[in-house]
Amino acid sequence: MELIDGKELAKNIRANLKEDVEALKQKGIHPKLAVIMVGDDKASAVYVRNKSKACNEIGVEYEEFLLKEDTTMDELLKLIEKLNKDASVDGILLQSPIPRHLDINEAFRTITPEKDVDGFNPVNVGKLSLNQECFVSCTPYGIIKMLETYNIPIEGANAVIIGRSNIVGKPLLQCLLNKNATVTICHSKTKNLEEVTKRADILIAAIGKPEFVTEYMVKEGATVIDVGINRTEEGKILGDVKFDEVSKKASYITPVPGGVGPMTIAMLMANVVKAASNRK
């Protein structure tokens, strides 16, 4: 079994991006990311802190907009529109979740596609499904990068994703399909899940349930990518995969933490640098 070291890979990607940022600055372009957070979700605060740290490390300017829990949709959209027009801002990220009274889809629709570094605007989602140049959402983008760096064949592979969310499962389905994998996507209504997952050459777990994937669900020699981040009451972070068991059967596996998480942030940085390079 070989561990897919997302932490190390992300570090290398950030080092390369730092050089790209320096080159852009020489040309007078100072890449900038604006992050909007609504309310005070604790997990979101951690993710946002990590994103700001990554910006700092590679020299991307970072501005945070913290909106109160009772912010109206009108106020949120006004801020997004202001940032859309601000020529110094290259990327706009709305940290989810946002309070239930706000319409996240409308907010994503309002972020201009050219600054949509999370790839959640329907224009980018549509382009991904047409296999056209676009901003790819960061977690699927990071997973593809990991598979490619470790020379794990995607073309022709049976890839099985557990989870069909708009931010992970569905865009990952498109990414893998665009790379010629045969893709199956499973969800809570899937029958005989174990039979499906056992056929996977590449198995991706994006469920949000600690240690859900056991050795009985995995084929000998499979590549297993664990997207899950689950916090236990004791404050420990567990993935969606029972690592101790599954790592004995897998040929490649990502750890949690130190797998998909750091890659997600590295690819966000890559998208911000790309947006800045596209400046007119």
* Binding positions for ligand NDP, rule: CB under 6 A: 139, 162-165, 167-169, 186-190, 193, 206-209, 227-230, 260-261, 264
Q: In what order do the strands lie in the sheet with 202-205?
A: 2-3, 252-253, 223-226, 202-205, 158-162, 182-186
Nearer to ligand NDP, 79 or 223 (CB): 223
Under DSSP, is residue 50 helix (H, G, I), strand (E, B) or coil? helix
Measured from the CB atom, is 95 or 247 closer to ligand NDP?
95
Report the residue number, 89 or 224, with the smaller CB distance to ligand NDP.
224
How far apart CA 122 and CA 118 sit, in angstroms, is 11
The residues assigned a catalytic role are 51, 95, 118
How far apart are CB 206 and ligand NDP at their closest, in Å?
A: 4
* Residue (of 271, 280, 279, 277) closest to 124 by Cα position: 271
62 close to 90: Cβ distance less than 8 angstroms = no
The answer to whether 202 and 254 have CB atoms below 8 angstroms apart is no
Relative to beta strand 182-186, strand 230-231 is unpaired
CB-wise, 121 or 254, nearer to ligand NDP? 254
Nearest distance, CB of residue 216 and ligand NDP, angstroms: 14
> Distance (Å, rounded) from C-alpha 126 to C-alpha 143?
20
User: Is the alpha carbon torsion for 280, 129, 38, 230 positive or negative?
Assistant: negative
Give the residue nearest to ligand NDP (CB). 165
Min separation Cβ 172 and ligand NDP, Å = 9
Shortest distance (Å) from residue 280 CB to ligand NDP: 31
Please state the φ and ψ torsions of residue 209, each to the nearest 5 degrees.
Answer: -130, 120
* Residue (125 or 186) nearer to ligand NDP, CB: 186
Closest CA to 36 of 101, 89, 87: 89
Q: Shortest distance, CB of residue 114 to ligand NDP, whole angstroms?
A: 23
Q: Which residues of 163-189 are buried (b: 16+ CB within 10 A; e: fewer)?
A: bbeebbbbbbbbbbbbbebebbbbeee
